[in-house]
Amino acid sequence: MVYSSELIKGTLKTIVLKLLADNKKMYGYEITQRVREVSGDRIQITEGALYPSLHALEADGLVTTEVEYIGKRMRKYYSLSPAGKAATRERVKELSAFMQTMALLLDIQPKTA
Amino acid sequence: MYPITDQHIDFVLCDLDANGIKTPDLRQNLLDHICILAEKNLEDGDDFYAYYRSVIPTFYREELAEIEAETVFLLSHRRPLLLLSRGWFLCGLFILLIGPFVGYDLLWLLNNGRLPWEVWCGTLVFMQFPLLIWLVITLTPERFDPLLPKGSKVLLGWRPFISIL
């Protein structure tokens, strides 16, 4: 089952930040492939969603970029900035708390109390 | 690996530009992505242009310019980030709340040489307020998130505080 883009949209930046935290530096194609691999093809990030998010993260100062030229074309590697590392921790924590709340709200797991 | 030529690159860049991708960095990102896909999926002698025409519609829903529009939208509607860690936020909170009392005590000490018991008691009593907030935040971490908007933080801090009282 492939998750809908609506579900992925709100978590895309967190996914990208966490991947960069775990992999030091990555380029766009690599990110899409890694997400597919880790999620067992259930999360498929489209190019149309990934690159705008990467640009926004760069503008926010959460990622830094490094350019490598392959002949005439340019490959942009993304890595976390110090602010990005702090933001990753906060976002992962926030998403984790959100998932627990959703589980309670949708009665996915038995309530403890 | 399929060989990508300068003509292929020029063609892709021109096509992306003609279809609304005006941000140079975004164009370069998409170009690299398309080239990698072609290198992985094409064999020597295959038609790059035909492959390009078949793969590019998978990047968008209705038109390619959506990607440019999304980029511009995200860049112009960035959420202000509170980059203070939890520890720094709490330090700031303490300094803000206790600072005036400590400052008042110091000024009193400088002017009068000693602190009367009323001032000591006043300081100790008012110090309980930030300590209570700290206890609430520490004991109910799920109610606190430094990335939440400022107003929500105040609300989240007060609710458990009131319920404890």
CA atoms within 13 A on the CB side of A50: 23
What whole-number distance in Å separates Cα of residue B15 and Cα of residue B7? 12
Per-residue pLDDT at A7: 80
DSSP characters for A51-109?
Answer: HHHHHHHHHTTSEEEEEEEETTEEEEEEEE-HHHHHHHHHHHHHHHHHHHHHHHHTT-S
C-alpha dihedral (A77, B60, A19, B143), degrees to nearest 10: 130
Domain ranges of chain B: 6-76, 86-164
Whole-Å CA distances, A42 to A21, A91, B59, B121, B145: 21, 21, 18, 62, 29
pLDDT in tens, A82-94: 888 888 988 999 8
- Give the model's pLDDT for residue A111: 54
* Record: contact A73-B32, CB cut-off 8 A: yes
What confidence tens digit (pLDDT) does each residue in B19-40 have?
A: 999 999 999 999 999 999 999 9
Three-state DSSP class for residue B77:
coil
- The span from the CA of B131 to the CA of A28, in Å, is 46
Predicted local confidence at residue A31, as pLDDT: 95
Q: What is the DSSP letter of B59?
A: G
* Cross-chain residue pair A55–B28, CB shorter than 8 Å: no
Token pair of B30 as six digits: 């998409």
Q: Report whether B156 contacts B144 (CB < 8 A).
A: yes
- The share of chain B scoring above pLDDT 90, in percent, equals 35
Where does the pLDDT of residue B156 fall: very low under 50, low under 70, confident under 90, or very high at 90 and above? Answer: very low
- Subunit contact A51:B4, Cβ cutoff 8 A: no
Contact A56 B74 (CB under 8 A): yes
Checking if the pLDDT of B150 tops 70, the result is no
**Calpha distance B130→B123 (Å, rounded):** 12
Backbone angles phi, psi at A42, to 5 degrees: -80, -25
Please determine, for residue B142, whether its predicted confidence score (pLDDT) is greater than 60. Answer: no
Q: Does B37 touch chain A (CB under 8 A)?
A: yes
Which of B103, B101, B107 lies closest to B124 in space, CA to CA?
Answer: B101
Nearest chain B residue (CA) to A97 = B142
User: Would you say residue B11 has pLDDT above 90?
Assistant: yes
The more confident residue out of B140 and A91 is A91
Asked if the model's pLDDT at residue B139 lies above 90, the reply is no
Query: Any chain B CB within 8 A of the CB of A63?
Result: no
Give the pLDDT confidence of B87-103 residue by residue, as tens digits. Answer: 676 677 778 877 887 88
CB contacts, 8 Å: A72 with chain B:
6, 9
pLDDT of residue A52: 94
Task: Indicate the pLDDT class of residue B157, thresholds 50, 70 and 90.
Answer: very low
Q: A16 exposed, middle or buried (CB, 10 Å; 0-12, 13-18, 19+)?
A: buried
The ipTM value here is: 0.86
Looking at the predicted structure, is the pLDDT value of residue B109 above 50? yes
Round to whole Å and give the CA distance between A109 and A102: 10
| pLDDT for residue B24 | 92
pLDDT band at B119 (very low <50, low <70, confident <90, very high): confident
d(CA A103, CA A109): 6
Domains parsed from chain A with CATH numbers: 5-105 (1.10.10.10)
Is residue A66 exposed (0-12), middle (13-18) or buried (19+ Cβ within 10 Å)? exposed
Residues of chain A short of pLDDT 70, as ranges, are 109-113
Name the maximum alpha-carbon separation found in chain B.
93
Which band of pLDDT confidence, cut at 50, 70 and 90, is reported for residue B56? very high
Closest by Cβ to A51, choosing from B71, B142, B145: B71
Is the pLDDT confidence value at B152 over 70? no
How much is the mean pLDDT over chain B? 78
Evaluate if residue B162 carries a pLDDT over 70: no
